[in-house]
Amino acid sequence: MRWLPPALLAALMAGCGNPGPEQAFDTYLSRLERPLGTAAPPWEREPVPRPPRAAKLHIPLAPGRLAALDFLALRGCELQVTVGKRNSSLGRLAPPSQELLLELEFLRLAPACIKYLKEEDQETLASALSAALDSKRRELPSRIYNATLATDEFRSLWQAPQALGDYPESTSSAPLSALDGINALASRWLSGDYSANNRDFEMLLSDVARGDAGSLLAALNLQKAALEGANAMLREHRDGGGFCQGKLLSPDLDIFKNVVEKFFIRGIQPWSAALSQRLHGLLPPVRQLETQLSAVLPPAYREWRRQRENVLDTVSDAPRQHVQQVQQTLESCRTQSPETPLKTAASQRRQAANEWAASTSAGTSASGACCG
């Protein structure tokens, strides 16, 4: 059995007519029509869920005690610069990612400032700063969520493409590495290590935005719709008797086997395997981040996740279900006549000819013995 190289498969899938994998599935279903004697049904993809806009996922957080801190009173603390940036007009309009980075900077610098203020007998200010520190530690999971899962970058990760083209041939490892990197940062921040690099974090978000989870979901949904159409053809064929004609097997059985091998096993399954590989690379880090932040996920995000997982549970199993339908079709005659060997029409004709020749030969021998 020869396997098509991925580049050649992508070229075939992007040929004239329907671009992308749609053409491969259209061809497979149309080739099944002859041996099954069943017209290919129209198949349409069901709409896949899209994440809500970032504004609807955002967790609102009050400015808290930081805005009330006396900027001038923090003189002598490195934290004074951080408070100044946070209370500036730019700081108040900062995107969630920059808000998080400023909060991490505050968490990192506040303990030293509290110690300094106590040494300077500024107990009231030290107490206010301690309260602000405790509040920001409690808010940190929500800040991380707002700066990651609730951002436009993560929404872009799930953006469906206009066309699949040669997907997943053109995928990159950068989104996977970025998701792993963000998971590592979140774990470190939640465990009390607040160090962060502004540029590195923004680059990770940028790589996530160029991810292909939306393309993956669209491709899996397409595959499910097409293979469900093929499964309907197989069930209709079996309901009509399948490849059995009394004790004979239809000559269309060999055609069916060839179609499945050429257009499904060698044509579609390598593409399906590539989708499965991408699924098992892309989804685990997303789910891991959701697990880390599960305590603060708002209802809107939980509902989106539920819809997404329901679709993934359904669409990812389509190839296995189709293989089962093919196997049932191949085994249906054996199931109907378990004790009677089934034969093709050609083998039945050969057996009849052999029996006729044997009877003729026996008759000739008897005649010769009689009349010899």
Report long-range pairs for 95-101 (Cβ below 8 Å, ≥24 apart).
Answer: 95/151, 96/58, 96/143, 96/146, 96/147, 96/150, 96/151, 97/147, 97/151, 97/201, 97/202, 97/205, 98/198, 99/143, 99/146, 99/147, 100/143, 100/144, 100/146, 100/147, 100/201, 101/196, 101/198, 101/201
Q: Establish if 160 belongs to a structural domain.
A: no
pLDDT in tens, the chain (372 residues): 344 454 444 444 444 444 579 999 999 999 999 999 999 999 888 888 999 999 999 999 986 555 555 667 788 899 999 888 887 777 778 899 999 999 999 999 999 999 999 999 999 999 999 999 999 999 999 999 999 999 999 999 999 998 999 999 989 999 999 999 999 999 999 999 999 999 999 999 999 999 999 999 999 999 999 999 999 999 999 998 899 877 778 899 999 999 999 999 999 999 999 999 999 999 999 999 999 999 999 999 999 999 999 999 999 999 999 999 999 999 877 655 444 444 444 444 455 445 434 543 444 344 344 333
Same domain membership, residue 132 and residue 188: yes
Same domain membership, residue 67 and residue 80: yes
Task: Give the three-class secondary structure for 47.
Answer: coil
Same domain membership, residue 216 and residue 195: no
Same domain membership, residue 222 and residue 197: no
Same domain membership, residue 140 and residue 43: no
Query: Which pLDDT value is given to residue 210?
Result: 96
Q: Establish if 345 belongs to a structural domain.
A: no
- The model carries a pTM of 0.81
Query: Which pLDDT value is given to residue 67?
Result: 53
What is the DSSP track for 142-159?
Answer: HHHHHHTTTSHHHHHHTP
Angle at 220 between CA 214 and CA 225, to 5 degrees: 125
Query: Last residue of a domain, which of 188, 209, 230?
Result: 209
Query: Last residue of a domain, which of 160, 188, 209?
Result: 209
Q: Establish if 346 belongs to a structural domain.
A: no
Same domain membership, residue 63 and residue 204: yes
CB 341 within 8 A of CB 333: no
Same domain membership, residue 201 and residue 70: yes
Q: Establish if 359 belongs to a structural domain.
A: no
Kindly state the tokens that stand for 46: 């069901």
Same domain membership, residue 204 and residue 86: yes
Same domain membership, residue 67 and residue 121: yes
Report long-range pairs for 51-56 (Cβ below 8 Å, ≥24 apart).
Answer: 51/154, 51/155, 51/158, 51/301, 51/304, 51/308, 52/300, 52/301, 52/304, 53/155, 54/150, 54/151, 54/152, 54/155, 56/300
CB 222 within 8 A of CB 164: yes
* Residue 191 domain boundaries: 59-149+172-209
Same domain membership, residue 79 and residue 134: yes
Same domain membership, residue 113 and residue 246: no
Q: Establish if 307 belongs to a structural domain.
A: yes
Same domain membership, residue 226 and residue 204: no
Q: Establish if 371 belongs to a structural domain.
A: no
Query: Which pLDDT value is given to residue 332?
Result: 79
Q: Establish if 130 belongs to a structural domain.
A: yes
Query: Which pLDDT value is given to residue 335?
Result: 53
Q: Which letter does DSSP use for residue 262 in this model?
A: I
Task: Give the three-class secondary structure for 344.
Answer: strand
State the total domains in the chain.
Answer: 2
Query: Which pLDDT value is given to residue 361?
Result: 47
Q: How many CB atoms lie within 10 A of CB 23?
A: 16
Q: Establish if 356 belongs to a structural domain.
A: no
